[in-house]
């Protein structure tokens, strides 16, 4: 035995939007035994598989078109208006678990669009949340992941800037400053979720306390990739795993202090499994 001291970060794990969606899904599954969900309920395969065993059925938008008279869960990422219109056409009952932060952002973008503003969204192309945001603008807003994607000479001289809720606050304001330096008038709307953005500093503080850090996340999680890199920058001895089977014994030395943390899409039970596995070494 290597006498490892293992601690799970108290702040890691599901954000409140994901908690809300999963609790809603479990309540229905416990009562009815089956529930359709439009897209992965969370970007974590282990949690999705757990819920599938309870009766959750993951469908995509193509499959949604063929369903009628069914109950469909809308996950925390939100959906564009076209999904709600289809629900009316196909007599689908939508269980809307859209995150309140995302819904507020959707409404603000819709108001800007109705006013005829030139809308730019800092976000990941084709991300579920961004698709929902674009839908508020009839898919007319400009989405960009990095300022380098924009032809600054041809950007309108007056724009309204929004952000996907899970992007970096510092990067968002850096982008706003660059645009203003180019002579562009920017109506900057900080719509980033603070529960997510605050994780950056919290994880830097956490990662610095340990000899080794094990970051637990699904490979599909954008938030997970960002937060893993935050840990890695602070503590080079940070390792990424999606489940306990991926842990390697040669990562650890005798008497190591090991920290376990994760993304906002990582369930607590999964981090507990990782801890239990490490304690067997």
Angle at 28 between CA 95 and CA 79, to 5 degrees: 20
Buried b (16+ CB within 10 A) or exposed e, 86-119: bbeeeebebbebbbebbeebbebbbebbeeebbb
Per the annotation, the verdict on 46 as an active-site residue is no
Q: Which of 23, 93, 129, 272 is catalytic?
A: 129
Interatomic CA distance for residues 152 and 81, integer angstroms: 30
Q: What is the DSSP letter of 33?
A: S
Interatomic CA distance for residues 70 and 84, integer angstroms: 14
Q: Which residues contact 155 (CB under 8 A, 6 or more apart)?
A: 120, 179, 182, 184
User: How many helices, marked H, and strands, marked E, lie in the chain?
Assistant: 11, 12
Interatomic CA distance for residues 143 and 134, integer angstroms: 8
Query: What number of other Cβ atoms are within 10 A of residue 259's Cβ?
Result: 25
Say whether 3 sits in a helix, a strand or coil: coil
Say whether 255 sits in a helix, a strand or coil: coil
Just list the catalytic residues.
129
């Amino acid at each position: 035995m290597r006498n490892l001291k293992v601690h799970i970060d108290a702040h890691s794990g599901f954000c409140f939007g994901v908690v809300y969606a999963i609790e809603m899904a479990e309540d229905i599954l416990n009562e009815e035994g089956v529930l359709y969900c439009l897209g992965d309920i969370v970007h974590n395969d282990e949690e999705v598989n757990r819920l599938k065993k309870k009766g959750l059925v993951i469908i995509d938008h193509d499959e949604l078109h063929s369903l009628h008279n069914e109950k469909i869960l809308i996950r925390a990422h939100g959906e564009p208006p076209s999904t709600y219109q289809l629900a009316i056409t196909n007599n689908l009952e939508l269980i809307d678990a859209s995150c309140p932060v995302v819904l507020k952002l959707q409404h603000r973008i819709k108001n800007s669009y109705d006013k005829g503003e030139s809308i730019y969204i800092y976000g990941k192309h084709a991300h579920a949340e961004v698709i929902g945001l674009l839908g508020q603008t009839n898919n007319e807003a400009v989405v960009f992941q990095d300022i380098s994607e924009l032809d600054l000479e041809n950007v309108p001289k007056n724009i309204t800037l929004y952000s996907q809720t899970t992007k970096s606050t510092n990067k968002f304001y850096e982008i706003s400053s660059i645009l203003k330096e180019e002579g562009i008038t920017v109506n900057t709307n900080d719509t980033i979720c603070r529960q997510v953005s605050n994780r950056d500093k919290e994880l830097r503080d956490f990662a610095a306390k340990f000899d080794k850090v094990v970051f637990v996340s699904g490979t599909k999680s954008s938030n997970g990739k960002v937060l893993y890199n935050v840990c890695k920058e602070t503590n080079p001895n940070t390792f990424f795993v999606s489940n306990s089977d991926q842990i390697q014994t040669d990562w650890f030395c005798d008497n190591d202090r090991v920290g376990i943390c994760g993304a906002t899409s990582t369930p607590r039970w999964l981090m507990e499994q990782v801890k239990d596995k490490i304690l067997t070494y």
